[in-house]
Amino acid sequence: MILAAAMILDAVFGEPDAVWSRIPHPAILMGRAVGWCDARFNRGSFRRMKGVLSIIGLGALAWLIGLAVSAIPDAGLLEAIVAAVLLAQRSLVDHVRAVATGLRSSLRDGRTAVGMIVGRDTTAMTKPEIARAAIESAAENLSDGVIAPAFWFAVAGLPGMALYKMVNTADSMIGYRTPRHAAFGWAAARLDDVLNWVPARLTALLILGAHGAFGLWRRVPEDARLHRSPNAGWPEAAMAPLLGIALSGPRSYEGRRQVFPWVNAHGRRDAGPADVERAVGVLWRSWGAALILAVVAGFGTLWAGG
């Protein structure tokens, strides 16, 4: 039942500024560790091997810290609190909803809000582009920030969750095919792909299952394969037909327009703030379905142990 408690704690309290303005968030500490490895080892020859050894070391560190916390006697509440900190449902909902609020205020406010959750260029985005970007981020981060860490907690407890978060943090920082990180970040990117393979597909099932829309599944695998990521396309391919809109498509990175295939190409492309709000509703219903699974799994564990 620890996972269910953690999910509820995260949903209720989110990321309280009163706490994280005084002490660094674990994600910040993970980022500092990744940054240190990048600065210290991403140079000279054998960069891919150095990247492999770095992600092994970082993952082992996260696993050991999680193991140390879970080994504390009667640490159930502490484990739930730590796990809640490593989940991001409430934070995701708040950031996505802020885009809808910003769009209703002005185009500039919408661009500012969506710039907090996407890495693409936002300065010339239209309202539909802003709305679609927010919905894409909602789908992808539901998988990366909520379902995947919860899944790995269910599989391997707090150590597994901590390991996943470290790898995912490393991927977000160094897992890019740039001249600097193509070799050094290769291991982080590949391991993140492996760890997200099941959660991404589970997220797609939860999105549709929470709305009784399993009939839409027939197109999900095909659309998911159009995405440049082996995993991010799955939750997007479930979210798009559920909302009746097209996602992905052209966008700009660092001033360069790039053309990507549309996911649910026959859907509407004129998404707006109302669609973003609908996506927030999808986030909560999917979270609710995941919570039910966590409770059932918790009772199953208690039954087996008792």
pLDDT digits (tens, 9 = 90+) for 97-116: 999 999 999 999 999 999 99
Q: Which residue has the higher pLDDT, 270 or 302?
A: 270
* CA-CA-CA-CA torsion sign (76, 77, 82, 85): positive
Task: Calculate the CA dihedral of residues 184, 121, 250, 197 and round it to 10 degrees.
Answer: 40
Are 53 and 46 spatial neighbours (Cβ–Cβ below 8 Å)?
no
Share of the chain above pLDDT 70, in %: 97
Give the pair of three-digit tokens for residue 155: 């599989």
- What's the average model confidence in pLDDT over 172-181? 93
User: pLDDT per residue over 33-86, tens digit each?
Assistant: 999 999 999 999 999 999 999 999 999 999 999 999 999 988 889 999 999 999
pLDDT of residue 249: 87
Nearest alpha-carbon partner for 170 in 53, 20, 10, 43 = 53
Confidence at 305, pLDDT banded by 50, 70, 90: low
Task: Return d(Cα 35, Cα 16) in angstroms, integer.
Answer: 25
Neighbours of 223 (CB within 10 A): 23
Are 80 and 6 spatial neighbours (Cβ–Cβ below 8 Å)?
yes
Are 56 and 144 spatial neighbours (Cβ–Cβ below 8 Å)?
no
Confidence at 133, pLDDT banded by 50, 70, 90: very high
pLDDT at 13 > cutoff 90: yes
Are 148 and 199 spatial neighbours (Cβ–Cβ below 8 Å)?
yes
pLDDT at 260 > cutoff 70: yes
